[in-house]
Amino acid sequence: MSIKLGDTAPNFQSDSSVGEIDFYEFLGDSWGILFSHPADFTPVCTTELGFTSKLQADFEKKNTKVIALSVDDAEDHKKWIEDINETQNTQVRFPIIADKDRKVSELYDFIHPNASLTATVRSLIIIDPEKKVRLIITYPASTGRNFNEIMRVLDSLQLVDEYKIATPVNWIDGDDVIIPPTIPTVEAEKLYPKGVKEVKPYLRYTPQPNK
């Protein structure tokens, strides 16, 4: 199965480091981040999970739940978490899905045969409260993810959903945002009381509405 932007994220049930999980029940009405790891006890993954753990409070403030996946069993996950906590100076509290049979990996297209027949690529999916897939990022197994970028995209997606805006190149929370070309300037001046800066008729900026 190939997952694309706008698709409904498929539900699944699986064992995990915290017991049996129904994915939809776990997400509830929150945003969700599902990210895959090639295997337990691997160095790059250990640093990623440790960094994610340190960001968990920030994700919770954004109504976002994080959940990892690795193609090993739950007992290995628990032992690996001990290593992560020790080496990364943290306490991992989010679940790691046990996917020894690779059912979830195949469901979410995390295994790319030309990269590896058995291990997952380093993929990450952001899912909104309607269970729609909003972001897909895939790295090779050898390259660790940039969670600062993931947090930035999450901020953008949540802002776009709340206001009729888009975010420009290298945007970070607090920067000016873009007014979509579909909104006439007369309407834009009413929608964005902080002001409309027109560079071109199709390129207009306004201060971030919620700042």
Q: What six digits make up the tokens of 12?
A: 């699944």
pLDDT of 37 reads 85
* Domains delineated in the chain: 13-144 (3.40.30.10), 163-206 (3.30.1020.10)
pLDDT of 205 reads 97
Catalytic residue at 45?
yes
Note the Cα 113 to chain centre separation in Å: 23
Cβ atoms 196, 206 nearer than 8 A: yes
CA distance 108 to 123: 9
Mean pLDDT by 10 residues, the chain (211 residues): 90 97 98 91 93 96 96 94 97 95 88 55 91 93 89 97 96 97 93 95 96 89
Strand 122-127, strand 133-139: pairing? antiparallel
8 secondary structure, DSSP code: B
CA distance 190 to 198: 15
pLDDT of 116 reads 53
* Catalytic entry in 21, 27, 34, 45: 45
3-class DSSP assignment, residue 134:
strand
3-class DSSP assignment, residue 92:
coil
pLDDT of 140 reads 82
pLDDT of 121 reads 59
pLDDT of 117 reads 46
